[in-house]
């Protein structure tokens, strides 16, 4: 009986998860903690968000398209179907200011692998990778709220809201079919770490300070700067070095939000593979400093969003030399490329709701935004002693439509081009996607 019951319960849970769609669980958390409930012991919150996309690239994705650009000038391109993000969120308010939250993300459809017996190969076992993708536990934390949410202490696995995209990464918080490209390229996105956080909101100000593991300079590279620095190929996250992240937001002006954020921490030798006895690297720290400014403004049917981010890495030349000496076996996780001394991105988008002036009450829930976006970023500004790669310098221009028949669903269409230096081929593309973001909750109340 027990053996039959467990698979049945598992199937029910999976079926329930497939029906979940979500929104920003941070907003839900603020609402829950603000109650600091002492009269009810429980509120279960279920939510998530997701995206399904078709994109056609009118350019080659070949690894040599920059080093041998002339060979790929007439590429026909290719189409792709993608599930960028599918997220399930579960939260629970225990009452008395205590709450819990977890978020599981399937990127690009998750992973599908299997072991099969190949009949045509004398019954040999063969491991197959049927689909690429990632599954990540993005949030898993316990929190205690004080003074109605004016101060909260959170511990566990937490999203690090450095930059505009990490702070607002749900599909209803940007117009593009995909997340803004610049910040998503040069820093971890969505950035999540295990640590401790102090945050709260006092009137029109929201503050946030975190103590988390620093990034790992062995994972830095040319095309993504420090983007992969939070990744770990091991079953644990190395934390030889710690870092501090912060964010401060203001909502004083109606419709306007302005935020500043940053991170600082040493990144060198934040790995289990370290050359601790080499005097050559004795003074290398790889101090990483990131600072960002972002804003959003909504008024009279217009939505304007923008962000800028700059980062600096000390000892970039020495780190590039050190990374070239790391294991180069087929199983090595290290990229073995140069890393820039700095990187930066800046961009913005402007949209207008074409239904804003309609007087028909039946159309109140409908939105049709016409938008345009521009972004510039460079993932590799080298130290003077390192080779320069000019293909990392990019301008991105796009425009499109967002149609929302109801608040939780947005259908997106976008076309754009990535503009590179004259010696390279520009990279035009178009995409269409359907996205959803919603939150459902069922309350269970008991006497305290």
Domain for residue 138, yes or no? yes
Q: What is the pLDDT of residue 374?
A: 98
- Number of domains present in the structure of the chain: 1
27 pLDDT more than 50: no
101-115 confidence digits (pLDDT tens): 999 999 988 877 666
Domain for residue 179, yes or no? yes
pTM: 0.85
Q: How far apart are CA 224 and CA 228, in angstroms?
A: 7
Mean of per-residue pLDDT scores for the chain? 86
pLDDT band at 126 (very low <50, low <70, confident <90, very high): low
Q: What is the pLDDT of residue 110?
A: 81
pLDDT band at 304 (very low <50, low <70, confident <90, very high): very high
Q: Are strands 205-213 and 242-250 parallel, antiparallel or unpaired?
A: antiparallel
Domain for residue 418, yes or no? yes
Q: What is the pLDDT of residue 419?
A: 98
Domain for residue 403, yes or no? yes
| SS3 label, residue 29 | helix
Q: What is the pLDDT of residue 12?
A: 39
Neighbours of 354 (CB within 10 A): 15
Of residues 85 and 19, which shows the higher confidence score? 85
Work out the average pLDDT over 283-301.
97
400 pLDDT more than 80: yes
Domain for residue 271, yes or no? yes
Domain with 275, as residue range(s), is 128-431
Q: What is the pLDDT of residue 412?
A: 98
213-237 confidence digits (pLDDT tens): 999 999 999 999 999 999 888 889 9
pLDDT band at 327 (very low <50, low <70, confident <90, very high): confident
Q: What is the pLDDT of residue 16?
A: 38
Q: What is the pLDDT of residue 328?
A: 78
pLDDT band at 440 (very low <50, low <70, confident <90, very high): confident
Asked if residue 364 lies in contact with residue 395, where contact means CB atoms within 8 angstroms, the answer is no
Q: What is the pLDDT of residue 15?
A: 36
Q: What is the pLDDT of residue 258?
A: 98
412-430 confidence digits (pLDDT tens): 999 999 999 999 999 999 9
Asked if residue 327 lies in contact with residue 334, where contact means CB atoms within 8 angstroms, the answer is yes
Domain for residue 272, yes or no? yes
| SS3 label, residue 161 | coil
Domain for residue 258, yes or no? yes
pLDDT band at 193 (very low <50, low <70, confident <90, very high): very high
Expressed in percent and rounded to 5, the helix, strand and coil fractions of the chain are 15, 50, 35
Work out the average pLDDT over 286-299.
98
CATH at 370: 2.40.160
Give the long-range contacts of residues 101-104, CB within 8 A, separation 24 or more: 101/25, 101/29, 101/139, 101/140, 101/141, 101/143, 102/137, 102/139, 102/140, 102/141, 103/25, 103/137, 103/138, 103/139, 103/140, 104/135, 104/136, 104/137, 104/138
Asked if residue 212 lies in contact with residue 245, where contact means CB atoms within 8 angstroms, the answer is yes
Q: What is the pLDDT of residue 326?
A: 86
Domain for residue 223, yes or no? yes
Q: How far apart are CA 210 and CA 113, in angstroms?
A: 36
Work out the average pLDDT over 125-151.
84
């Amino acid at each position: 009986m027990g053996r039959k019951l467990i698979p049945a319960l598992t199937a029910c849970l999976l079926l329930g998860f497939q029906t979940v769609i979500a929104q920003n669980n941070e907003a839900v958390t603020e609402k829950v903690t603000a109650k600091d409930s002492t009269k009810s012991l429980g509120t279960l919150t279920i939510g998530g968000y997701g995206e399904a996309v078709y994109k056609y690239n009118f350019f080659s994705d070949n690894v040599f398209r920059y080093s041998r650009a002339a060979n790929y000038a007439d590429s026909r391109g290719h189409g792709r179907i993608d599930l960028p993000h599918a997220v399930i969120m579960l939260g629970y308010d225990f009452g008395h200011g205590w709450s819990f939250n977890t978020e599981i993300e399937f990127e690009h459809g998750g992973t599908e692998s299997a072991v099969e017996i190949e009949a045509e190969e004398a019954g040999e076992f063969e491991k197959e990778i049927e689909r690429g993708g990632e599954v990540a536990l993005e949030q898993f934390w316990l929190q205690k709220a004080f003074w109605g949410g004016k101060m909260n202490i959170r511990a566990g696995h937490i999203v690090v809201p450095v930059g505009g995209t990490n702070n607002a990464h749900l599909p209803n918080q940007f117009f593009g079919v995909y997340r803004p490209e610049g910040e998503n390229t040069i820093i971890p996105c969505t950035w999540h770490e295990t640590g401790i956080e102090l945050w709260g909101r006092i009137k029109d100000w929201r503050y946030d300070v975190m103590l988390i593991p620093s990034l790992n300079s062995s994972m830095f590279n040319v095309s993504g700067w420090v983007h992969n620095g939070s990744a770990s190929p091991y079953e644990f996250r190395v934390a030889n070095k710690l870092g501090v992240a912060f964010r401060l937001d203001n909502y004083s002006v109606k419709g306007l939000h302005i935020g500043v954020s940053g991170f600082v921490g040493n990144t060198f030798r934040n790995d289990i593979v370290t050359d601790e006895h080499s005097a050559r690297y004795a003074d290398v720290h790889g101090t990483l400093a990131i600072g960002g400014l972002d804003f959003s403004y909504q008024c009279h049917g217009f939505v304007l969003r923008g962000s800028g981010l700059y980062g600096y890495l000390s000892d970039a030349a020495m780190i590039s030399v050190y990374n070239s000496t790391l294991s180069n076996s087929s199983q090595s996780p290290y990229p073995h490329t140069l890393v820039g001394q700095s990187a930066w991105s800046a961009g913005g988008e402007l949209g207008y709701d074409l239904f804003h002036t309609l007087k028909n009450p039946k159309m109140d829930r409908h939105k049709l935004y016409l938008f345009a976006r521009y972004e510039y970023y460079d993932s590799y500004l080298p130290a003077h002693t390192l080779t320069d790669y000019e293909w990392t310098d990019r301008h991105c221009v796009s425009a499109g439509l967002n149609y929302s028949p109801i608040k939780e669903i947005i259908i997106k269409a976008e076309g754009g081009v990535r503009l590179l230096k004259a010696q390279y081929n520009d990279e035009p593309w178009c995409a269409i996607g359907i996205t959803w973001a919603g939150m459902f909750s069922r309350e269970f109340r008991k006497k305290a």
